[in-house]
Amino acid sequence: MREYRRTTMLAGCGAVLALVATTAGCGGGSSNSGKKSLDLITGVKSDPFYITMACAAQQEASKRGVKLTVNGSAQWDVAVQRPIIDSVAATHPDGLLISPVDTDALTPSLQQMQNGGTKVVLVDTSVTDKSVGVSRISSDNEAGGRTAAKTLAQLMGDKGSAIVISVKPGVSTTDARIKGFTEEMQSNHPQIKLLPVLYDNDLPATAASQIQSTLAAHPDLGGVFAGNTNTAQGIATGLQAAGKEGKIKVAAFDAEPDEITALKNGTLDVLVAQDPGSIGTQGVDQALAAIDKKQVTQQIGTTMVAITKANMGDPAVSKFFYKASC
């Protein structure tokens, strides 16, 4: 995610990602066109991570000659995503790619779709129940959290206090990032004091307020790990307001346009970038394999890369930058 990731309820055609609506089309069910039909439900429609995923999925669907409808909610919230799932379920698509916004709450709805014959592929985020999904495709988020911790500890000189600010508990991707980060810090960087994790409910303004309050309470704060993009944006804003930009080291997940700008400006120090395009492409491929009763890969881990100001100009690294539109 991503998480990770804004409070109007959208469903059906109204939920189609604005930036890909011209190519994604609307409606569902293969009976309308003779083509296999797939739906993609992303976590947050305006998030460049999911836009990048949707663009790649649409490109792959076009290449494979299948119809893909993209839906996404305006906010990372079960109450917003569940009606979208119900709306898509009513169209009986052949396959569903989905980034569930909770590890448990949406399981009954997804099981019902599976029982109705729709092949479900979990992309980016997942659910606890292993019976849900013919394939699960995501980054190794624990490893990403460990990478963030190692880099941040080095930047901090292995001293001072550090804090994690993330979305909310119960999101598979960000929970794993926190786990990896915490384990790495506790095991290999004992001189750094970890403060209790804070959650901002995916609201940048809340993250900005939280980092300023933390600075006031802990003058030795040396590093921050942002669990997702919105949190990173809020932390950057809070540090700027506090006059601490560049003085507090910040590691963040993802490589969205605002984060790339912040990296260039020195507000953020390292970005752990995922590969949402690959997730979207492989999601389409695995769904079609299941529909065609071919071999399906149950678990797929995608590449991640650490981006710094020093290496961001390398084409092998810059290809991981996320898109704001197709």
- In this prediction, residue 54 carries a pLDDT of 97
- What's the mean pLDDT in 220-238? 92
pLDDT in tens, 234-259: 999 999 999 998 899 999 999 999 88
Q: Are 131 and 107 in contact (CB under 8 A)?
A: no
- In this prediction, residue 112 carries a pLDDT of 95
Residue 299 burial (CB count, 10 A): 11
- In this prediction, residue 73 carries a pLDDT of 85
- What's the mean pLDDT in 41-54? 94
Q: Comparing 50-54, 90-94, 100-104, which segment has the lowest mean pLDDT?
A: 100-104
- What's the mean pLDDT in 46-75? 95
- In this prediction, residue 30 carries a pLDDT of 43
Phi-psi region of 310 (alpha: psi -120 to 50; beta: other; left: phi over 0): alpha
With 0-12 / 13-18 / 19 or more C-beta atoms within 10 angstroms meaning exposed / middle / buried, residue 151 is: buried
Higher local confidence (pLDDT), 20 or 190: 190
What is the chain's alpha carbon radius of gyration, rounded to the nearest angstrom?
A: 20
Side-chain-side CA neighbours of 280 within 13 Å: the count stands at 29
Question: Does position 265 have pLDDT exceeding 90, yes or no?
Answer: no
Question: H/E element holding 161?
Answer: strand 160-166
Sign, CA dihedral 110-114-119-122, equals positive
For the chain, where are the alpha helices, taking DSSP H only?
A: 21-24, 48-64, 78-89, 107-115, 141-156, 172-188, 204-217, 229-241, 257-265, 276-291, 315-318
Residue 59 burial (CB count, 10 A): 17
In whole numbers, what is the pLDDT of the chain averaged over residues? 88
Question: Does position 27 have pLDDT exceeding 70, yes or no?
Answer: no
Question: Does position 212 have pLDDT exceeding 60, yes or no?
Answer: yes
- What's the mean pLDDT in 205-232? 94
Question: Does position 307 have pLDDT exceeding 60, yes or no?
Answer: yes
pLDDT in tens, 167-193: 999 888 899 999 999 999 999 999 999
pTM, entire model: 0.75
Confidence of residue 300 (pLDDT cuts 50, 70, 90): very high
Q: Are 305 and 143 in contact (CB under 8 A)?
A: no
Question: Does position 17 have pLDDT exceeding 50, yes or no?
Answer: no
Higher local confidence (pLDDT), 34 or 258: 258
- In this prediction, residue 142 carries a pLDDT of 93
Question: Does position 278 have pLDDT exceeding 90, yes or no?
Answer: yes
- What's the mean pLDDT in 114-139? 95
Pairing status of strand 305-307 against strand 270-273: antiparallel
Taken in order of first residue, the domains within the chain and their CATH numbers are: 12-138+276-302 (3.40.50.2300), 141-275+308-318 (3.40.50.2300)
